[in-house]
Amino acid sequence: MLAETLRLAVQAIFRNALRSALTMLGIVIGVASVIAMVTVGRGSTEQVASDVRKLGTNVAIVVPGQGAMRGGPHVGTAPMFTLRINDAVEAGVAAVAVSAPISQTRERAIFGSANRMTEVVGTDNRYFEAARWQVAAGRLFEEGEVRAGRTLCILGETLRQALFGSGDPVGATIRIGALSCRVIGLLRSKGASTFGADQDDFVILPLAAFQRRIAGNSDVQTLYVSIREGAAVDAAREEITRLMRELRRIGPGEDDDFEVLDTRQFATMLTGITGILTGLLSAVAAVSLLVGGIGIMNIMLVSVTERTREIGIRLAIGAQARDVLAQFLIEAIILSMLGGVVGILAGLGLGLAGARMLSVPFAPDPLTVLVSFGFSALVGIIFGFFPARRAARMDPIEALRHE
């Protein structure tokens, strides 16, 4: 009996193939958009996660001022750090493996007729260790070169491509603003970060060279801290904060004039974004499924009216109300589930295209796919019920008289 009802429903759907397709469209669009967005969203999240991993799971960044991550006004009045503070943090906090001093600015890098505005970073070899940069060609700095502040530089992949194409930059001399420096190394590419920033678009000089020849001061803007494997990040942050307050001579009750940020704060921020996205998606899904459901109800009502005579015949030869109810309800459910399946396929296709376009991983969520399918079936049940009940309640005598 159930097999018969299913067969009947499928027959009815394919008899009016075009109308059925148009009816499903609402559900298709709703499900497809949700699947596509979730897929791309998850891809981005995975990208972020992998970026954070690249950043190092146990990384903290110390910056002057407060509110840098909250998007508040970056307090420019807080004094910068110095190399001495950096080294004191590295030496004075047991949980800190390495602390790299960083200063940076934007400047034009020039080689021959090629040039590019890029990030110019002054630091030392500790940065490569803390941020897990690997050498693709050439070498890193030597101890003496850092101390002496030699005008040597190491390129990121993006800048290499801008200045040298696919050529070998090692040994060439480029200009950074007015400063000439010899390229001694090239770093392996890390690719774009989550926020779309190109992580490879930079040139690195020894800190002393940067301070003297480019910045004209002895400031350190950021401490890039790598925390030892197994050490508690929270405890390390507290210890860094305590030491920093001491070094910066901040009295009890005074606010910090610096901030210690760790990767979890990035994660928190991302979670927030994901939450907003999920909310929006739910709204889109709800509205489109509602619209799709109303479409199905509408067509099912038309179908019931059109087939009044058929219903009369079925009732006359012995169909009970529930037989007729099941027939039309199952038809509505199959229609909406079919819409769900088409939507899922379309959504996965769109998601794949979107992931390609944004160069994030293709990460479909099996749960979302399942839930979408379930919801489309549910829409069929809810919006198919009213037309089906109308069919089931028909008076066989009147239905048989229907022209």
Which spans of this chain sit near another protein (rule: CB under 8 A)?
A: 1, 4, 15, 309-310, 312-323, 396-397, 400
Two tokens at 275? 């939450």
Strand ranges inside 177-302, DSSP E = 179-187, 202-206, 222-227, 258-262
Instruction: Supply the minimum distance, in Å, between the C-beta of residue 1 and another protein.
Output: 5
Instruction: Supply the minimum distance, in Å, between the C-beta of residue 377 and another protein.
Output: 25
Instruction: Supply the minimum distance, in Å, between the C-beta of residue 322 and another protein.
Output: 8
**Nearer to another protein among residue 363 and residue 400 (C-beta):** 400
Q: Is 83 exposed, middle or buried (0-12, 13-18, 19+ CB in 10 A)?
A: middle
Q: Which residues of 311-320 are buried (b: 16+ CB within 10 A; e: fewer)?
A: bbebbeeebe
DSSP state of 191: -
**Nearer to another protein among residue 93 and residue 319 (C-beta):** 319
Instruction: Supply the minimum distance, in Å, between the C-beta of residue 283 and another protein.
Output: 42
**Nearer to another protein among residue 280 and residue 397 (C-beta):** 397
Instruction: Supply the minimum distance, in Å, between the C-beta of residue 384 and another protein.
Output: 21
Contact of 81 with 223, CB cutoff 8 Å: yes
Other Cβ atoms less than 10 A from the Cβ of 381: the count is 15
Instruction: Supply the minimum distance, in Å, between the C-beta of residue 325 and another protein.
Output: 11
Instruction: Supply the minimum distance, in Å, between the C-beta of residue 317 and another protein.
Output: 5
Residue 30: which residues within 8 A CB-CB, separation 6 or more? 284, 285, 287, 288, 289, 291, 292, 343
- Which ranges constitute the DSSP H helices of 65-206? 83-92, 125-130, 143-148, 157-164
β-sheet bridge partners, residue 226: 59, 98
**Nearer to another protein among residue 42 and residue 314 (C-beta):** 314
**Nearer to another protein among residue 174 and residue 311 (C-beta):** 311
**Nearer to another protein among residue 280 and residue 321 (C-beta):** 321
Closest CA to 98 of 241, 240, 248, 265: 240
Instruction: Supply the minimum distance, in Å, between the C-beta of residue 5 and another protein.
Output: 9
**Nearer to another protein among residue 46 and residue 310 (C-beta):** 310
Closest CA to 178 of 107, 119, 264: 107
**Nearer to another protein among residue 152 and residue 326 (C-beta):** 326
Two tokens at 141? 């700095």
